[in-house]
Structure 1
């Protein structure tokens, strides 16, 4: 049997019967027996570190990861109202298909929750064309009876509309995004604003939980990015299954966190799904890997996934071992809702110390006590923002972040 990555299948491998690049690497169109159930199949799926499986066994494997993530941790109450965030990416379509399948099973195996779907049109930020309503309506018909809603990034939650009633409005420029000088700050701000919008939509639809479609590679990139941006104090929540920092007690869940990129590609083929947009096409990534910290980290993790897939899982799992500082007396950041880190980090004190010495000149720099006192005064300023959000605020200038 052929293995992953072999280009020369030989005369017996049915290579000449396949169209070039018509199938993801690892999906074999050839007669053979499934190594799991033993049934003869003409479509075998060969994942890394796993035996070749037939179509049904592969779907069982992926769907089990979805159910196990929610069941093992018991984070989703019975009959909870769930909002699924759909952005048209491959990962979000996989999550939509898995959730619909879990809700259409018999009573014993059914996932007991009330799900709604929201598509957030962020093309005004990307500068591209608006959403493909025909493709979205086709998804809505395929996944009945799930209710589909549409809103726009940066819009008020009151603008939320049902898909069948949606009419695109004139796009207005996002002034705060445009005022931020660096792409790193803009991407960080856009990510936090997206969470605020999801929480607002969940409140409007009376949903207590939000499903996010990030997979292991995305979370590995998010973990490294959070540390690079100075969000190390809350990095564990950025990659955890459950993130409870959203407003009004809305909880963010990541049930696809155990899936990898290869499984997503194979699942799309198995279920004949076509993404509405390409993976990795989020805001700012079209400007290249060196344009921002987020882009550089994504490119690094993506390259790591291609060459050393097991290492990406190790990076992602490291986030589960980070224990957040449990200080109930600490306030939360007014923007990202993470614990304020000024009193917990010696690194932040060192940064402010360097700024105090640099700005005060030679006179003050000769007196270390004065510089340290000035640094502590700056950290004690009650602006209600964590270090990373304060960096965004500095770029905005007089405009308020929240």
Structure 2
């Protein structure tokens, strides 16, 4: 017999719509006894699907996720030089606080690495929401970490210590780009290249990025939609080795969710300083719409976001089997296809037909259109499909 209950269907046989789950939001309850250590506490921290805990037990739980991500993978060697990227978001400050705590433990529990902090200035230091004072407060709180700043449009060798940094006005370039989706994708790839180059400049072998579960779920869906399916596994993995100068990118907060981050911020009294980024406004780009979609899922169907993220964990990175070729994309450093893909050829063929429009005559044979499509692929042979789209949409040279 069918195991589906009759209540799952309407009177007309149609299926009822899925209702949003009634999952509790993040909450700090009043005084009581901790269910973990049984000690009385002035505040109890209640996570979804967990019993209320005192502040110390909650912090131990959250910090264990951070240490477990690094310990299970063994991706961070002892004595490594680490560059921690912060951007003023709660996630980045949580990572900074956790890393500083791990550095101040006794010899047995200490995370043995040397840490520098990097902030990439996208021009917000000249706005009313100047992040430099907040950065200086962080520098005083998290001594002895060195804080460095570099402008997003500057060269890697222009990185400076926070105490010596002077903001420089840069001309706005957003108006030059008509496609916000391509511009956001290009800005993200350029940011990664700058991170890797600055890390090499500071002689750091590893970079810590503060992406959490919901952020990586958004990245997974966006990468697939942008045509980066071949490299999507590295976009959401703990370990990413596509940066220049053999710098490794790590995402140690990948197992934390937004609720845990917000409660950690409250427990440690962290002050986020969101900066102005013109590319993150509520504009109709694929990345912004995907983020809005995932945020709505996180609000109403939190388990679905976790499912998306865990699916990305199961995807294996596609590697080039021919060691002699080992071709890389000139922009994102992802592996390129060894042979011409039939799918990409069909896309370029369709694009050729669309651009021909009314000028397309019957005398233009299928062979001619296919030849034109192959020529398009050859002109962008050093770029992956997604980066080739950036080049086409923005009309700029990618090197």
Q: TM-score range by the shorter chain?
A: 0.7 to 0.9
Q: CA RMSD in A?
A: 2.2
Q: Deviations over 1:353-372 (max 9, x none)?
A: 11233345544687434433
Tell me the equivalent position of 2:120: 120
The CA deviation at 1:151 is 1.3
- 1:110-135 superposed Cα distances (whole Å, 9 cap, x missing partner): 000000001111135x9844633222
Give the corresponding residue for 2:12.
none
After superposition, what is the alpha-carbon deviation per residue over 1:54-82, rounded to whole angstroms, capped at 9, x for unaligned?
Answer: 10010001000000000000000100000
Deviating above 6 A after TM superposition, structure 1's stretches of 4 or more consecutive aligned residues are: none
Provide the secondary structure at the position in 1 that maps to 2:379: coil
- SS of the aligned residue for 1:380 comes to helix
Give the aligned partner of residue 26 of structure 1: 27
Structure 1 unaligned runs (5+)? 7-23
Aligned partner of residue 249 in structure 2, secondary structure: strand
Take 1:207 and 1:131, find their aligned partners in 2: how far apart are those partners?
A: 27
Conserved 8 A contact 1:187-1:283: no
After superposition, residues 199-210 of structure 1 pair within 5 angstroms as: 199-210=196-207
Deviations 1:128-169 (A, max 9, x none): 446332221111111001111111111112221111222222
Give the counterpart of 1:172 among 170, 173, 192.
Answer: 170
Q: Deviations over 1:284-307 (max 9, x none)?
A: 222x2x510010000000010011
Aligned partners of 2:184 and 2:111: how far apart in 1? 34
Deviation sequence 1:178-227 (CA, Å, 0-9, x none): 42211111111111111111111101110000000010100000110011
Contact 1:226 1:232 survives alignment (8 Å): yes
* 1:374 paired residue number: 372
SS of the equivalent of 2:117 reads strand
Question: How many pairs are equivalent?
Answer: 373
Scaled by the length of structure 1, what TM-score is found? 0.87
Deviation at 1:381, TM superposition (A): 3.0
- Note the residue ranges of structure 2 that are not aligned, 5 or more in a row: 1-21
- Any residues of structure 2 matched to 1:2-401 within 5 Å, and which? 25-28=26-29, 30-123=30-123, 128-129=127-128, 131-169=130-168, 171-173=169-171, 175=173, 177-277=174-274, 282-286=277-281, 288=282, 291-328=284-321, 329-341=325-337, 343=339, 345-360=341-356, 362-363=360-361, 367-397=365-395, 399-401=396-398
Indicate if the aligned counterparts of 1:5 and 1:25 stay in contact, CA closer than 8 A: no
Question: CA offset at residue 235 of structure 1?
Answer: 0.7
Secondary structure of 1:148's aligned partner: strand
Give the alignment's TM-score, normalised by structure 2.
0.88
3-state DSSP class of the match of 2:147? strand
- Conserved in 1, the CA contact under 8 Å of 2:26 and 2:47? no
